[in-house]
Structure 1
Amino acid sequence: MAAGVWLLLSVTMFEAMSERGVHMEAPPLTPPIRNLSIDPAQRRLTWEWGGGGTRAEGGALGPRFLCRKEGRDPVRADPAGHSCSFPALSHCHVTNFTVFPEGQEKDAAHLCFQPRDPNRAAAARNLHCWVHDVDWLSCRWGRGPGATRDVRYRMFLRDARHSPDHDRECPRYEVDSQGSRVGCAVGEAGTLASLITVTVNGSGGAHGVHAPVSCTDADIDMAAVEVLAPPVLTAECESTGARVRWAPQSRFQTAFVFTLQINQSSQTEPKLEMVYETEFKVPTLDTVSVRVKATALDSGVESDWSKAWSLDCGPTATLATPMTSLLLAGAGAVLTVMAVLLLCWRKSLLSRLFPPIPRMRVLPGPEMVAWVEAPENCEVTLVTDN
């Protein structure tokens, strides 16, 4: 009876509140992802999960997570714990991070990493780098709008996996008409890591007071920014055509597709061939001109055309090749015979000029007398026995 009365009162109160426009709000929900933070030195994002769920074998409690940096493609979190690691982290500009359960981006948590920023208006602008001529890395930047005339920029680079303690300064600066550093050239780019961090900072100020300038940095994927040099091409005639070989010129690309442009005197239009090897046989017995360019399969970067290689592989040229080889072989044989005869003649001449000294077969005894040959035309006295 009491329960029925209580239920009736509850329904009556709810109807009265509804008629008066009073709505009951649900208590606020606790976000499932809590304590999101980042360790700048380790470039690791960590969090706690409060949404429940099952624990995978060898993993942490909850669903699988994805992490996104600056709106890029997400990466998977470490299955053994609630963390994500990134290959690089900017210490110069704001970086936004997002963490969410896989397939549940509505439950995402966000973090904004804000480094110290003392003088952002004077910081370098439009920092960009590229690899060229196989072994050179060049970087350029512009003066910040708030930079003074005496601003002095400095550029540093390091492996993106390392901290700024591993920075090394640019060895060759480029300056503008006002004497400010606006670029850098680094040789032996092939010795650098495939992903590097380039940082530009500096100092400058009015009235002789030099204040630090905020830094600008960029993560450089060396393969993606490489300007491919044309392949080195060689070609030679064979009995049934031309053999073409080439070598790609890159320190950071390993897989290529090559495009050959073949011009033959017997054809009005050039022919294009797509190959993955580094040699090609052109079946021709006339004049041919060949050039090649490379395209990196991973980055899609394309080189310029190589220098064209022209040859005449007609019947006369193909016959001349074995004839030349035969003549060279004959000349080599003649030279070998002449060298042997010369050695024999020299041995005979030396034996006549310097005859060997005969060896004494009988050892000298006490009854033997040694003498010295006297000069010729000397007086001789005849001795006789009386």
Structure 2
Amino acid sequence: MASLWLAALLLAPVSALLLGARGIHLSDRNPPIKNLRMDPGSRRLTWDLHGNVSGIQCFEDSSFSRRAQNNLFCQFYVLSKCKPSNYTVQVTLVDGEPYSTWIEYPKQEGDPGAAADHLDCEVHDKDFLTCRWAVGREAPSDVQYYFYLEDTITSQRWECPRYTPNAQGQHTQCRFDNVSAFSNEEQHRFLVVGASNRSAIPCTESVRYLSEIEKFMAPNLSATCNKSLALMEWNMWSHFHKNLDYELEIQQGADPPFLQKVGAPPRGPDPPSVHAPSCLDSRPRGPPTLPEMSRGEGRRAASCAVCLEPPTEGHPPHTPPPFPQLGQAGRLRKSLGPSARTSKVQDDQSFTLTNPGTFLVRIRAQFLSERVGRWSAPQRFVCDQEAGARLQVWQMASLMALGTLLTVGTAVFLCRRYSVLKTLFPPIPHLKDPLGGNFENEKMFLCEAGRPTQEECPVAEVQVLRES
């Protein structure tokens, strides 16, 4: 009995510490927070407050924290619809004692293994949005998936206009043909909902900005050049990016290729490009200027609540480093002559190459040196006009000489062929038919009986007795 009493004394402090860590205190007899709940319409975590407290702070999955507003609620802006999250409220009482309580939102329904798997979306070729997913490992055979694009602020929803099914007829891909209809000011929810007659199917979601999942297409490059300078210009198309950097790979003659970066001048914040989950900021609008980068962007489905944190006050904007030999298209196009000179100006869609000669070039777009687009097809430009003129004259002279040789050779061949044929097959003289013969182009002589002709050959009279 004494040993049991001693064990109780030894374990009592440990139990008290464990209960304190879980937020259960003497104040639980009259907890300061009651009826903790999430309002999905306003996206507010609210409660009923009892007594005086010195501060209240909210946590999402023990990671993202924010202070309560007027000690009455915590504001969230993007709530998960598919994966349950833990929302904890931590209270500091007036006497300094801590108290915490939590809820889970949303409630999980159905088998998570039946939900769509590996959701991946990308904006490509300027206008198209394509999302792909796999059938859940534990999904029933009659499962069917439906895709929705949803504005996280207005909750406006667009159903997929064009599905691509697998061999079993289950939707595994969706495509939108005009992404310009969607705004990039707010995040969008990429939502896949499952349906089955056998069991409930949980949904799968990813919350991203459209700009951060864009795959840049190759810019369209052209060049104007002479012996001294080559002005390369290009056009780039994107609905969500205004300021992009470009990378050119140039190879002059037999020299090894080199890379040249052309940076866009700062013109204010661009739409965000990659996600940085955070819920520290209380402002509902305004995408971040320079969010944290993630090299795995576009390849992971964020099945959790995501709330981007706009930049803090005084955050320095991203300014790309200056690059040499930035050409000004208008001036150089007007003065592109033997004495043309390069004007180094901030032009983000042109580049001037000095002493270009003959060169190969290709180009691609990139954002913050992290997300790069596709390379364009290599293009070859010959810029030495004098060398080109000499080459053209030489080519013309060669062609004329070759044509002359071919003509003379053909004539000789035909003459020799006619002479050989005449020697091998001489013409055989034959009598002319005075009645049925064709005397056109023939030389005729008048022959009279009893009178010698010029050839003095005897002529015999022929009497036609009967026509055959």
Which bin holds the TM-score, normalised by the shorter protein? 0.5 to 0.7
Q: Give the distance between the partners of 2:247 and 2:91, measured in 1 at CA.
A: 45
Q: Deviations over 1:250-294 (max 9, x none)?
A: 222333222222211263442433533221111124112222222
* SS of residue matched to 2:371: coil
Q: Deviations over 1:43-92 (max 9, x none)?
A: 22235677967xxxxxxxx4584x54346554x44655643333322222
- The code of the aligned residue for 2:373 comes to S
Match of 1:216 in 2: 204
Match of 2:169 in 1: 179
Q: Give the distance between the partners of 1:211 and 1:36, measured in 2 at CA.
A: 30
Which ranges of structure 1 fall in alignment gaps of 5 or more residues? 1-16, 54-61, 321-386
State yes or no: 1:303 paired with 2:373: yes
Q: Give the distance between the partners of 2:190 and 2:182, measured in 1 at CA.
A: 12
Q: Is the 8 A contact 1:140 1:184 kept in 2?
A: yes
Cα deviation, residue 172, structure 1: 0.8
State yes or no: 1:69 paired with 2:67: no
* SS of residue matched to 2:211: helix
State yes or no: 1:283 paired with 2:328: no
Distance 1:49 1:131, change over 3 A: same
Distance 1:253 1:99, change over 3 A: farther
Q: 2:224 aligns with which of 236, 240, 244?
A: 236
* SS of residue matched to 2:212: helix
Q: Give the distance between the partners of 2:71 and 2:220, measured in 1 at CA.
A: 50
Match of 1:37 in 2: 37
Bigger RCO (CA 8 Å, 6+ sep): 2
Identity in percent: 28
Cα deviation, residue 94, structure 1: 0.7
Q: Is the 8 A contact 1:264 1:270 kept in 2?
A: no
Q: Give the distance between the partners of 1:257 and 1:184, measured in 2 at CA.
A: 30
Which ranges of structure 2 fall in alignment gaps of 5 or more residues? 265-347, 391-468
Q: Give the distance between the partners of 2:56 and 2:389, measured in 1 at CA.
A: 71
Match of 2:159 in 1: 169
Distance 1:239 1:21, change over 3 A: closer
Distance 1:197 1:286, change over 3 A: same
- The code of the aligned residue for 1:88 comes to V
Taking structure 1 as the reference length, what is the TM-score of the superposition? 0.61
State yes or no: 1:87 paired with 2:77: yes
Q: 2:151 aligns with which of 139, 159, 164?
A: 159
Q: Is the 8 A contact 2:38 2:44 kept in 1?
A: yes
Cα deviation, residue 188, structure 1: 0.9
Match of 1:370 in 2: none
Question: Which protein has the bigger strand share?
Answer: 1
- The code of the aligned residue for 1:37 comes to R
* SS of residue matched to 1:263: strand
State yes or no: 1:117 paired with 2:84: no
Q: Give the distance between the partners of 2:231 and 2:120, measured in 1 at CA.
A: 41
Match of 1:263 in 2: 251
Taking structure 2 as the reference length, what is the TM-score of the superposition? 0.52
Q: Deviations over 1:190-215 (max 9, x none)?
A: 3223321122223223xxxx655332
Q: Which moved more, 1:234-243 or 1:133-142?
A: 234-243
Q: Is the 8 A contact 2:90 2:100 kept in 1?
A: yes
* SS of residue matched to 2:386: helix
Q: Give the distance between the partners of 2:144 and 2:77, measured in 1 at CA.
A: 29
